[in-house]
Amino acid sequence: MQEKIQSGEIRFNSTMTGIIRRTYLEDMKGLPPSTLWIDLLQTGHNRQAKSEQKKLAGGSVEGLFATPKPERFIREILQIATKEGDLVLDSFAGSGTTGAVAHKMGRRWIMVELGDHCHTHIIPRLQKVIDGADTGGITHAANWQGGGGFRYYKLAPSLLRQDAYGQWVINKEYNAEMLAQALCKLEGFTYAPSDAHYWMHGHSTERDFIYVTTANLNHQQLQQLSNEVGTECSLLVLCTAFRGRGDYPNLTVKKIPKQVLSRCEWGHDDYSLQVENLPKASAKPGQQGLFREEDMK
């Protein structure tokens, strides 16, 4: 006690009736900051969040979440942790409050949701925000007028799986169309199957095409393909196996599991994955924002 009084850690008030203890930050290591948010006007409360939800759902309470967060509460957190233009991730999106608030605050966002409420709640909610038709939550406080847009992706099943012998094979859930679409995406081709040529599944330029098949192609088939493609064009052929004899100058032939695996990225322990920089979708007539559904990514 004497030591602490001497060091100034313990002092007495002017009337010597109370002890004042000085604490030092460096001794507080490991203690989380403790802030009690009790200003309900600033953070909102669950009942308010429920009524926000009800309003968004057009008065119906069916399918509403038991404990939604008020938009004001999420706004407080985003104000502390982010600045305009930052990317906010909510990988358990629920009713989409985080994305709606982030959007109105000028942040970019990614939401992930596996439930059907992705369609019944999140997409309609964000659409309203974009159209400037969501008048609840922080809309007024953020002076939100509408704008912006989002993309929606549905995850496809895994393209490859390992068989009983540990060999990589194409997942049976993939039909021919899904496979062609997926490989066009992986190889950077635009999926655009042609009615005129069975081998024309997509293109990368006007003269460069892609053909995806689960067939095992022999020399005759490859030669015939090469003849049909002609000298002016080139074709990337992705098949499960091939036995070629000749030289096909306009064809590049690759095996699917191997080619897919070569496109996969393994062992990253950070976020340096190569992510496609997709072009902006064009707005639908009469729509301020951008919304595009992409089926398989």
Binding site for ligand SAM (CB under 6 A): 68-69, 90, 92-95, 97-98, 112-115
Instruction: Kindly tell me which of 78 and 200 has the beta carbon lying closer to ligand SAM.
Output: 78
Instruction: Kindly tell me which of 177 and 293 has the beta carbon lying closer to ligand SAM.
Output: 293
CB of 56 to ligand SAM, least distance (A): 13
Instruction: Kindly tell me which of 12 and 92 has the beta carbon lying closer to ligand SAM.
Output: 92
CB of 32 to ligand SAM, least distance (A): 20
Q: What are phi and psi of 286, to 5 degrees?
A: 80, 5
Instruction: Kindly tell me which of 138 and 235 has the beta carbon lying closer to ligand SAM.
Output: 138
Contacts of 95 (CB under 8 A, 6+ apart): 53, 64, 65, 68, 117, 121, 122, 125
- Would you say 224 and 211 are in contact if contact means Cβ atoms under 8 Å apart? no
Instruction: Kindly tell me which of 100 and 236 has the beta carbon lying closer to ligand SAM.
Output: 100
CB of 89 to ligand SAM, least distance (A): 10
- Would you say 123 and 94 are in contact if contact means Cβ atoms under 8 Å apart? no
Q: What are phi and psi of 21, to 5 degrees?
A: -105, 125
CB of 41 to ligand SAM, least distance (A): 20
CB nearest ligand SAM: which residue?
A: 94
CB of 94 to ligand SAM, least distance (A): 3
